[in-house]
Structure 1
Amino acid sequence: MKKLNLLIFSLALTSGTVYAQDNTADVNQNGTSNSATVEQVGDQNFTSLSQSGSSIAIIEQINASQSFVSLGQIGTNLADILQNNKNSVQGFNDQWNTDPANKLSTQEGSGNTMYIDQLSTWNQAYVDQYGTDNSMTVLQQGGNSNVARLLQDGSENTVNVTLDGGSINRVKAEQYGEGNTADVNVFGTGNNEFNNGASYINQNGTNQLADVDVTGNENYYNIDQDGTGSTSEVLLNGNQNRTVLTQAGNFNAIDAIVNSGDLNTLDVEMTGNGNSSRYVVESGSSNDIDEVVTGKNNQSLMLLGTGGVLSSGNMIDVLRNGNSNYLGGVIKGSGNMITVDQSGNQNRITASLSGFGWTDGIAITGNDNIVNVSQLSVGNMSVNTVTGNNNSITVTQN
């Protein structure tokens, strides 16, 4: 094994860790089983590292006001990057306004692993991986206005991102191929659009999984899946969070849960056939669920206030265009408004989907609830049960 340990001091080699400003490390390794370790302490650090083969790169930049890393690896490699400072860019950049394409760490091949820890404010991670069975793990902790822009092109790849603390932190992940997984965990408040756009996960291919867990308030995430057999899972804990879910293709699934919180919004658009969705509000009120479905043989289940705490003041709007679609649910609480518009043949608001775990169509328990159902065309069915006082239900079938 060849091992290269670079410790740079004012552009000169030393035997100790760097304690200076304007440090630069430029490393190029060719061959297999190489190892490079770069440690930089001070302001305005820059590391450029290129490796081929089964190599290891360890880069640490500590207590700096600005740090930059440019990393390129080809083969089956491992990279571990720590930036414990302010204004860090994991990727090459000599000007903050440089296009993101010029601020990349890239791994090409199979079985690559990338770890990035950024522990401060205004950090940016730009990572590309090409091939199969690659993984990247990004931790941005204790700061504000951090951005993780991640791209994987291939199959069986994994992205794991944790944003812990702070606000205006954003994740921008794209995956192309088959069997890829994106796992995002957010702890904080106000992680939303601001100046650098909304957080999103875009997946294009088959059998993809996007899993977003949010704890905090006023967070905004967008999941877009295009393909077959993909799943979106969302878990919200907090208030005034918004998630936009878009799926195009067949046999996709959505599972969105508001574990606790008020004034949360789920905007859903599904296009295709044989898709399924489940929306759950275990504890919280005044939440808004908007679903637009185009296609046939799609199924949706809505469960509000079923976690032992009544859920009130919620709004559910469902618009469906297609044949043989099914809708049902259980709502426990008061002051809820449910509006369902179905256009097509053989649509059901009914008890026929016992495999979904319910048997009552739309079953509402509480007071002052309003249900409006409109079904256009032939062979449609609406079965609803309302228990309580001052409730209103209107069903129109043409």
Structure 2
Amino acid sequence: MKKLLILTASMLALSAGGAHAQMVQTSEITQAGVSNDATVNQAGGDEGVSDIDQTGDDNEASVTQEDGPAASSMFNVPANISDIDQVGNNQSATVVQNGEPANGDSNVSTITQTATGPNLTAGGFAAEAVVAQGGEGNVGTILQSASGNYAYADQFGSDNTSMIDQFGNNNIATLNEQGNSGGGLGESDNDSTILQGGDNNLAEVDQDGSGNTSIIDQDGSDNEARIMDQNGDNNFSTILQSGSNNDALVDDQNGDGNNSSINQEGTDGDADVSQDGDNNVSTIDQTNDGAIAVVNQGGNNNLSDINQGNGAGNFPDTEAYVTQDGDDSFSYVDQVSRESVATVNQTVGSSSNTSDIDQLLGSLRATATVTQNGSNGLSTILQERDGGPPNMEGMTATVTQSGDGAESSITQRDAGASATVTQDGDSLSTILQIGADGIIANGNTAMVDQIGDLTSSMISQNGESNSATVDQQGDMLMSSIDQLGSGHAATVTQTGFSNSSTILQSDMNNTANVTQAMNGNTSMVTQSGDGHLATVNQTTASNASTVTQSGSGNTATVTQ
């Protein structure tokens, strides 16, 4: 049976006294097919317009329009405008508009659905769309094709704009836009866009405040994207996903002027961003196969940029975690590698810290961890496997800096390398581990522990199976270790003030131990050949020692 219900028609009425003119609501319904149901409820008597056009069978359309008292003086300005166009069978569209156009701006809602096929929504419809608007100047548009799609848009405030376009099967999209943080009516100007192509995708947007922008664009299947709790003003979030089984979440972006962007291509990507503060920027670009990135920024003016994988060489399984609590900190992570993990934590209350981690093509199982306590810290780690058999594994770099102005630089180009730096104060540590003559080497280890100010340590390892350990406690201490070849061991322990140690080792299996205390000591150890042992102990002030060994199997001991 065909149902046709028109509750109001276009007409012009005069008020009892004739002083005010009032435009009565207008509704137009056109239906074709069998068992279509259209309901329009227009209350308030002030400039409402509704148009419903249904073609097919068993479609349902419902429009409720209510406008506030301010609309009665606007005469020919519509308070609410709704247009529903459904083609196909068994579709449902619902619009609820509560307009209050004090400034002459109308709420506008457009729903267009074209559904075919047997797919059904949870409500049992081939397609389902709902728009709810409260306030003025809101624009909500839902366009859906194919079947089994569900779209819901809720707008409250003024001048909010939303667009949902789903052109696949069994997709779900929901968005909620609220004016003024806390749900108030005032100037809002929020903008949300959800575009979904493919099947079985899920998108959610929830933003509260003014001037916020959210964009979700998904193309593929079984992807999930959520922008939740974007609270404040002038925040911007973008999620772009293509492929399948990707999951992206922007959660608790609280404050003003925050910017978050997630771009995932491929399969099984997972990215989460949470920003609390003002003017924070997070950018994640993943070419997936298991890439995971988690960013949590608290404070103001922080920047985190994560770029994982380019698809070359089939190197999946990269993960990156960044947490910044404080202001004006920067973290960059770039990984193109198998099983690489980078963790950066730049601690509560710190400011102006910078961490840069690059784990490049072939750095199998490379792990880099940076923790900075204090301000103005700088840490740079580059781990790069360049050649060698494909099953080479290793590379671990850990940097912990506590205090202000600490700087650490680690470069590792050979598999199996390990570097650890711990600094407390205004110190500088540099570690270079490189295979000799471009050959990928194994087993280099370097450890640096510094406490004090204006203290520096330089370790260069070019070869394999070399070890270097530096322990510095004091001010203006300097240690330099240069190892070329294999099997070398160097240990430097410095306390006091203004002590200097230099160790140069070449060829193979040489050992040097230097201990300096008090002030103003200088030690130079040079070893070439193999099997040498040099020991220097300086426990009084202002001593100078030079040890040079060549050949093989020499032993030297200096005590000052």
TM-score of the superposition, structure 1-length normalised? 0.44
Greater fraction strand? 2
Which gives a bigger RCO, structure 1 or 2 (Cα 8 Å, sep 6+)? 1
TM-score by length of 2: 0.34
